[in-house]
Structure 1
Amino acid sequence: MAENNHSVHSPLLSEDHHQQNDYSKTTSFFVLATKFTLKSLIWVIFILWIALIFMYPSHIGSSLVEKCIDATIGTPFGRTGSMFLVFSAPLLIIAFLAILLLIVTGDDKLEGKKDSKRPTFRLWTFPVLVDGPFGVVSATEMIGIVLFSAYVIWAIYNYTLGALSLISDQPEFKMKCILMLYVLGVRLGLIGLFCLGFLFLPISRGSVLLRLTDIPFEHAAKYHVWLGHLTMVLFTLHGLFFVVAWAIEGRLIQELIAWADVGFANLPGVISLLAGLLMWVTSFSPVRRWNFELFFYTHQLYVIFVVFLALHVGDFIFTMCAGGIFLFVLDRFLRFCQSRRTVNVVSAKCLPCGNVELVLSKPANLRYNALSFIFLQIREISWLQWHPFSVSSSPMDGKHHIAVLIKVLGKWTEKLKEKIMKQPLVEVSVEGPYGHEVPYHLMYENLILVAGGIGLSPFIAILSDILHRVKEGKPCSPKNILLVWAVKKSDELPLLSSIDMEAICPFLSDKLKIDVHIYVTRESQPSLEEGCVYRPIKSSLRPVPSACPISVLVGTGDNVWSGLYVISSTVGFVILLGFLEIFYIKPFGVEKWWYKGLLFVACMVAGVIIFGGIVIGLWHVWEKLNYSREKVDDDTKAKEVVDQQNNINGNTPKDPSQGNLAKSIIAHYGSRPDFKEIFGGIAQKWGHVDVGVLVCGPPTLEVSVAQEIRSHTIARQRHHPIFHFNSHSFDL
C-alpha cells in the first residue's frame, strides 16, 4: 500500500518540480531579455544623441536639428520645448531606462560579472598615462579624452570656416576682425554649453547614470575637473573675444553693462563668467592644498554661475545644457533632504595609532559595499564643511552599523579628536553611502591590495567582506590576496589589528591565502616595545538600532523609490513648463529672453521640490514604518541571538592552524615597496591569471603602481598574469 501511495504521488511531485524549474527558466529568460532590451535602447539613444551633438557644428547637423525643431514646434511648449526635446530629453530618457534596468537587475549584480577562467586584457583597467596633468588615465578614459578633444577641434574648425565665409564680403580689415571675433565668440560659447551639459553629470553623487555605468563618485570627480577646465577655457575665450571686439569698436563699458530684453543680456553673462572664473582659479591644485576651505566655499558660486547663465542666454538656448543640470538638481535636493537628519554615533574612540574610529547607526535596509564612502558633517565644528571618508566595515559585519576610520591631519580632524576625547557621544550629519554599484573586489580570484597609511581603511572592509562571504558560502571569487601596506612609522601598525581575521573566518588558511607585507619607511628597526605586529583586538561593541540612524534617501537606496522621485520630478517640471507657457507666457506676451530663462530655471527647481518633494515625503514615511517593524523584530530576536552566540562561543572547535596568519605578516623597516620586485615575484608565482590590483593612498603611490602595471603589461610574457589597475583614492 505504501508502495502504491509512493508510486502515485511521485509523478505528481516530479511534475511539480519540473513546473518550478520551467517557471524559474521562464523568469530567468524574461529577466535576461528585458535587461538586453533596456541596454540596447540605452545604447541606441546614447549613440544617436552623441552623433547629433557631434554633427551639429556642420551644415548637415544644424539642418537636421532645425528640421527636428520645426517638426515639434507646434506643441504648447514652443521652440523651447523643441530644443529641450532634441538636446536634453535623450539624457532624461536614458535615466528612466537606467532606473528600470537597476530594478530588473536587483541585487544580482555579481551575476555574469565574475572573474573568467581565461585572463583577459581590459581597456578600463590598463593605465595609459601614469604621471601627467591628468593623473593616472586608463585606456578607456584616454579614448574619452580623445573624443572630447576631437569634438572641440572639429567644432572650432567648422565654425572658423563658416566665419571666414561670412567675413569675405566685408571690404575693411577692421570690420572683418570685428565680425570674426563676434562669430567665433558666439560659437565658442555654444561649444561651452554642450560641455556644460556634461559637467554636472560626474558630481551628481547618487546619480542613476553613475550607477548605470558603475562609475563611483571618487572617480567621476576627476572627470568633472577635466570638463571644468575645458568648459572654462571655452567660456573665457567666448567672453574675451567679445571684450576685444567691443574695445575695438570703442563701446566696451556700454556693452558690459547692457541688459537687453531680446537677444543676449550681457551683464548677466559677465556676472556668470566672473563667478566661473573665481571657481576655476581656486580649484587649481596649489590653491586647494594651500586653503581647501577657500576652494570649497568659492565653489558654491555654481548657483550664481548657472542662474545668471540662464539670464544671459535665455530659455531656449539654455535647454542645450539643461538635462545634465536638471539631474544635478535632482541629486542635490535629495542629498539636502538626507543630510538634514542628525545621526547617532554608536561608538567614537581614539585608537592607539592616533586615528579616530566612528561607528554610526544605520537601518538594515541601507545598502552599501566594502568600497563605499560617506560624507560627514559635524555642525558643532562647521556648518558648511563636508568631508569624505572610506567605509572601514563590511556590510556583513553587522546590519545596524557602519564604521569609518579617520586620520587626524588638518584643523577639522583635530577638532573632531579633541571633541571625542571630551565627549565621546557626538552627532553627525551623513551623506551617502556612495561608491561602486558592483563590488569589483569580489570578481578577481587573485588580489593585490596596495595601501599607504590610512589608505588601509577600505582594505580592512574588503578583507572583512571576503572573509564573511567565504565563511557563509556566498558568491566570492578571491582565493589569493597580497596586502602591501606602506606606513611612515610603526605607531600606525595597530590599525591592522582592528580586524580579527581568524575570528571572522575560522580555518581561514584552508580556504584563503593571505599574505601581508608592511613597509615602515621612516624607521630602520622595530622598537623594543612593539613585539608582535598583529594583535587582533577583541571588540565588545554590539551596535543596536537607535532612534536616529542614517537616512536611506540616497542614490544607492531603494531603486523603486528613487526611480519614482526622478520620474515624478521630471514630469512635474514638464507640467509646470507647459502651464507656464499656456497660462502666462503666451497670454501676456512675455518676450524677454532673460526673464524666460529665469522662469525656466524656476520650473526646474520647483518641479524637483514640489513633485519630487511629495515622493520624498512618502519615502520618508515608508522608511519610518519599515524601521519601526525592523526594530520590533530585532527586539524580539535579541535574546535568541545572544543565546546562539553563547552556544557558538562555547562549542565552536578551535582552528589548529590559528597563528599561521601572524606568520604570513612580514614587516620591512627602513625601505619602501619595490613594486618591480613585488609584481615580478607575483608573475612567477601565480602564473597566467587575472590579478586585480587595488590602490588606496597618496598620488605618488598610485603613480608608482600604475607605472609598474603599465610596464609589465607592455613587456609581459604569455605565461605571466594580466594586472588590472583599480584606484580607490579620493581627491576633491
Structure 2
Amino acid sequence: MRNILKMLMLVAFVGWIFVWIMVSTNVFKNKWTPKMAKYLNTTYFGPQGINLVLLTVPMMFIAVLSSVYLHIQKKPTQTQSKWKIKGRMGRVMMVMNPLGIVTATEFTFSLLFVALLAWALANYLYLSYHVSLHNDDNAKIWQAKFRAFGLRIGYVGHYCWAFLFFPVTRASTILPLVGLTSESSIKYHIWLGHISNFLFLVHTVVFLIYRAMINKLMETFAWNPTYVPNLAGTIAMVIGIAMWVTSLPYYRRKKFEIFFYTHHLYGLYVIFYVIHVGDSWLCMILPNIFLFFIDRYLRFLQSTKRSRLVSARILPSDNLELTFAKTPGLHYTPTSILFLHVPSISKLQWHPFTITSSSNLEKDTLSVVIRRQGSWTQKLYTHISSSIDSLEVSTEGPYGPNSLDLRHDSLILVSGGSGITPFISVIRELIFQSQNQSTKLPDVLLVCAFKHYHDLAFLDLIFPSDISVSDISRLNLRIEAYITQEDKKPETDNNHRLLQKKWFKPHPLDSPISPVLGPNNLLWLGVVILSSFVMFLLLIAIVTRYYIYPVDHNTGSIYNFSYRGLWDMFLGCVCIFIASSIVFLWRKKQNKEGEKESKKQVQSVDIQRPTSSPGSWFCGHERELESVPYQSIVHATSVHFGSKPNLKKILFEAEGSEDVGVMVCGPRKMRHEVARICSSGLAKNLHFEAISFNW
C-alpha cells in the first residue's frame, strides 16, 4: 500500500513540476492552451479551469494521499521503525553566509529552482519580444519592451508564491515526505520571501518608470473593473515592503514585536495580491495557500482551549520548566516544540519552546523549558515566581519531525546554552528504548557549553523525576560540560539558590493537551483537506455557472475582474471553516471521555519532588537518598572551566564507530563550526544534523 501511494504521489508531483516548466513556453500558450480550453475552461470553472486542473488539483491530491501514507507509516509504539528519514535532507555540502548550512540536496534543488526562474523569464521575454509585443499605449518600441520586462519579472515572482506557504504550514502533510518540519524549513520561506519581494519590487519600479515616461503615472492608482486593478498591486507592494523590511535579522532578533505584528499583515497582502493578479493566476499558487489556511484555522481551534498547567520548576539558573497535562494518545517525537500563549502577558503573541519530555516515557504529562531572555519570558518568569495559584495558558502543537532516527553506533550531542533542551528529549527517548532488551543503544556523548556555573542546573532535567536505577542501567551516557566565562568552581554560599517547585490549582475550563483532531490526527487531517477542497470545487462550479457565466454572456457586460478572485478566496475560506469545524467538533465529541479520564488522573497527581537541585551537588550540597539516579549524572559529568570545547578534536576522536550521529543545537557560530567539521571529508563516519530555532 505504501509503495502504491508513493508511486501515485511521485507521478502527480512530476506532472505538476512539468506543467510549471512548460507554462511559460510558446508551446503551452499557443498550442496546448487552445486545445485544453475546450475541455477545462468550461461554463462551470471559466478561465481559471486550466490552472485549476493542472496546477491546483495535483498538489491537493498529493496532500490527501500523503496524510494516508504518513498515517500508515507512523507507528508511535515502535520508535525504531525500519523507515528512515534523513533529518535535514542529506550530508552537509557547504557552510556560507547568509545561507547558513546547506546540504547537497538543498544546493541541488536551489540551483534547479533558480534555473526554473531563469527559464521562465527567458520564455516570457521571448513571447513578449518576438511573438506578441503588446503596445496599447503607443509607446516607443524600446519602452514597450521595457514594460514587457517589468511585467514578466512579476510573472516570475509569482513562481515563488507557489511554494512560499509550504514551509510555514506547521501541521503539514507535504514536508514530512522529504524529512522536513516547518521549523527546519523556515529558511526556505525566508529565501522565497526575499526572492519574490525583490522581483515584485523590480516589477513595481519598472512600471513606475514606464508610466512616468509616457506621462501616465496616475494609472498606478487606477482600479479597472474589467482588467488588472493597479491600485490593488500598489497596496500589496506597500504591505510587502513593510513585511520585508521588518523581517530582516535586526528586527527579528532585536525588535521581535515589530516583526511579529507587521508579519501578520500577510492576510491583507494575500487579499490585495489576489485581487491584482486575478482568479486564474490564483489557481497557480492556490494549493500552498489553501493548505496553510487549513492549518491556521485548526491551530485556532486548538488554541481556544485552556491547557492544564500542572506545575512549574524554577531552576537555579533562572530558567523555567513548565509541566502540562496531556492525553495518553498524544504522541510526538524528540526535538518537537510547543507554542505557548499567555493572555495575561500578551493577547496576541505566541512563542515556541522545546519539549523536554518523551511521549513514550511520560504518558500523562508534557514539559517545556523556557529560558529567561527577552521581555515576554521575563514577564512569564515574574508571573510564575509570584503568589498566583493558576495561570491561563493556551497551546498549539506539538510540532516536530514525523520520525527521528537514533540508530547509530555512537551519538554525539553538541549544545550551547539552552540548546541542550532538545537533547534532553532525545536522551529520555533512549531511556524508553532501553526498556526493550533487544534494542541496541548508541553510546551517547553530550558536549554542553554554558556561560556560567549555575547553568549546570540544566542537567537536572535529563532524567524524569520517577526514574529508577534499573531504567538507566543500559544507558551509556557521558557528559562533557564547559563553563566558558568562569575560571574556577565558585565557593559554596547562601547565594546559590535551590530548585523551586510550584503546583497550580486546576481550573474548570482546563483540558489536557491533545491532538487537534484526535489520536489519528494525520488521517483526519486528510479528511479535512479532501472534504474542504471538493466542497470548494462544487461551490466554484455553482457560482460560476449560475451567477458569473450569465453576467458574462447574457447581459453583454464583463463580470468584474476583482470579484472573481474575491469569490475564490471567500468560498475557499467558507469551505475550510465548514469542513474543519465539523471534523473538529466530531472528533472532540469522540475524544471527550478520554479527556475526562485524563483530567481525573492529572488532578489526582500529588507527587512531591526533591527540593534541592541535583545541579547543586557540584557545589557540595548533600545528596538526597531518593535522588540516587541523579548521582549517575554527577559521575558521568566532567566539568571544564574557562574554556570552550575543542569540537574538532572531540568529533575526530569518535573512532571505532562506523556510524556516528552528530546533532548540534546552539548559537549559529557553533552550528556552523560543527557543520564544517562534518563536511570536511576527514571523517567519513560522521552524520550531521542541526537543530535551529534561530531564523
TM-score by length of 2: 0.89
Alpha-carbon spacing, 1:499–1:425, altered in 2? closer, same or farther (3 Å) = farther
Q: Distance in 2 between matches of 1:158 and 1:417?
A: 57
Q: CA deviation at 1:217?
A: 1.5
Say which of 571, 580, 584 aligns to 2:543: 580
Structure 1, 274-283 or 500-509: larger mean CA deviation: 500-509
Q: Is 1:675 equivalent to 2:660 in the alignment?
A: no
Equivalent runs, 1:18-417 vs 2, <5 Å = 34-62=1-29, 63-74=31-42, 76-107=44-75, 110-113=80-83, 124-165=89-130, 175-253=140-218, 255-417=219-381
Measured in 1, the distance between the counterparts of 2:2 and 2:231 equals 49
Q: Determine which of 551, 564, 568 is the counterpart of 1:596.
A: 564
Q: Which amino acid aligns with 1:359?
A: T
Is 1:433 aligned to 2:398, yes or no?
yes
| 2:672 aligns with one of 692, 697, 703 | 703
Q: Secondary structure at the match of 2:225?
A: coil
Supply the AA of the counterpart residue of 2:692.
S
User: Partner residue of 1:621?
Assistant: 589
Q: Could you say if the C-alpha distance between residues 675 and 61 of structure 1 is closer, same or farther in structure 2, counting changes exceeding 3 Å?
A: farther
- Please tell me the residue identity of whatever aligns with 2:277: V
Q: Deviations over 1:167-226 (max 9, x none)?
A: 8999x9961222112222222222222210110111011111123333112111111101
- Name the CA distance, whole Å, in 2 between partners of 1:403 and 1:324: 32
Instruction: Give, in whole Å, the separation in 2 of the partners of 1:502 and 1:100.
Output: 37
Give yes or no for the alignment of 1:722 onto 2:692: no
Q: Which amino acid aligns with 2:173?
A: V
* Matching residue's letter, 2:675: A
- SS of 1:199's equivalent in the other structure is coil
Structure with max Cα Rg = 1
Cα distance, 1:114 vs structure 2:
5.8
Where do 5+ consecutive residues of structure 1 fail to align?
1-33, 116-120, 643-653
Distance 1:485 1:304, change over 3 A: same
Q: Which residue of 2 aligns with 1:5?
A: none
Map of 1:20 onto structure 2: none
Asked if 2 retains the 8 angstrom alpha-carbon contact of 1:468 and 1:505, the reply is: no
Residue type at the aligned position of 2:566: L
- The structural deviation recorded for 1:537 is 8.3
Identical aligned residues as a percent = 32
Q: Which amino acid aligns with 1:677?
A: K
Please give the residue correspondences for 1:528-539 in structure 2 after superposition, counting only pairs within 5 Å: 528-529=491-492
Label 1:187 to 1:511 Cα distance change in 2 as closer, same or farther (>3 A).
Answer: same
Matched to 1:698, the amino acid is P
Aligned partner letter, 1:478: L
Structure 1 window deviating more from structure 2 (315-324 vs 521-530): it is 521-530
Helix, strand or coil for the counterpart of 1:130? strand
* Structure 2 counterpart of 1:650: none
Aligned to 1:731: 694
SS for the counterpart of 1:586 is: helix
Q: Is the 8 A contact 2:353 2:370 kept in 1?
A: yes
Letter in 1 for 2:193: G
Mapped partners of 2:572, 2:415: distance in 1: 43
The one-letter code of the counterpart of 2:422 is P
SS of structure 1 residue aligned to 2:515: coil
- What's the secondary structure of 2:27's corresponding residue? helix
Distance 1:560 1:392, change over 3 A: same
Q: Cα distance, 1:571 vs. partner?
A: 1.6
Displacement of 1:603: 0.8
Q: Aligned letter for 2:81?
A: E
User: What residue number does 2:477 align with?
Assistant: 514
| Equivalent position SS for 2:449 | strand
Q: 2:487 aligns with which of 524, 534, 540?
A: 524
Post-superposition shift, 1:658? 9.2
SS at match of 1:427: coil
Q: 1:69 to 1:726 in 2, by over 3 A?
A: farther
Partner of 1:550: 513
Deviations 1:385-429, CA, capped at 9 Å, x for gaps: 111101011113422211011110111011001111112531211
Distance 1:225 1:203 in 2: 10
Q: CA deviation at 1:158?
A: 2.2
User: Residues 301 and 669 of structure 1: is their aligned pair in 2 closer, same or farther, counting only changes over 3 Å?
Assistant: same
- 1:606 is aligned to 2:578: no
Q: Deviations over 1:549-592 (max 9, x none)?
A: 22421698623322222212112211221221123212344611
3-state SS, counterpart of residue 150 of structure 2: helix
User: What are the ranges of 5 or more consecutive residues in structure 2 without an aligned counterpart?
Assistant: 553-557, 609-625
The alpha-carbon deviation at position 631 of structure 1 amounts to 5.6
Alpha-carbon separation, structure 2, partners of 1:578 and 1:114: 42
Q: Deviations over 1:684-728 (max 9, x none)?
A: 3x34x12111111111111111111112xx234xxxx52111112
Separation in structure 2 between the aligned mates of residue 484 and residue 566 of structure 1, nearest angstrom:
43
Counterpart Cα distance in 2 of 1:433 and 1:123: 19
3-state SS of paired residue (2:330)? coil
Give, in angstroms, the shift of residue 342 of structure 1: 1.5
Aligned-residue CA RMSD in angstroms?
A: 3.3
In structure 2, what is the equivalent of residue 561 of structure 1? 524
Report the AA paired with residue 671 of structure 1.
S
> Aligned AA for 1:79?
P
In structure 1, the residue matched to 2:615 is none
- Paired position in structure 2 for 1:29: none
- Return the alpha-carbon distance in structure 2 between the equivalents of residues 456 and 134 of structure 1: 24
Aligned length in residues: 667
Partner in structure 1 of residue 622 of structure 2: none
2:611 alignment counterpart: none
Contact 2:42 2:49 in 1 (8 A): no
SS, match of residue 2 in structure 2? helix
Quick one: structure 1 residues 288 and 637, their matched pair in 2 at CA, closer, same or farther if it must change by over 3 Å? closer
How many Å apart are 1:657 and its aligned residue?
A: 11
Aligned match of 1:495 = 458
Stretch deviating more after TM superposition (367-376 or 79-88): 79-88
Return the alpha-carbon distance in structure 2 between the equivalents of residues 451 and 82 of structure 1.
51
Paired AA for residue 692 in structure 1: G
Q: In 2 relative to 1, CA 103–76 (structure 1 residues): closer, same or farther, beyond 3 Å?
A: same
Match of 2:621 in 1: none
How far 1:529 sits from its partner (Å)? Answer: 2.0
Q: Distance in 2 between matches of 1:283 and 1:169?
A: 37
Partner residue of 2:434 out of 470, 484, 491: 470
3-state DSSP of counterpart to 2:645: coil
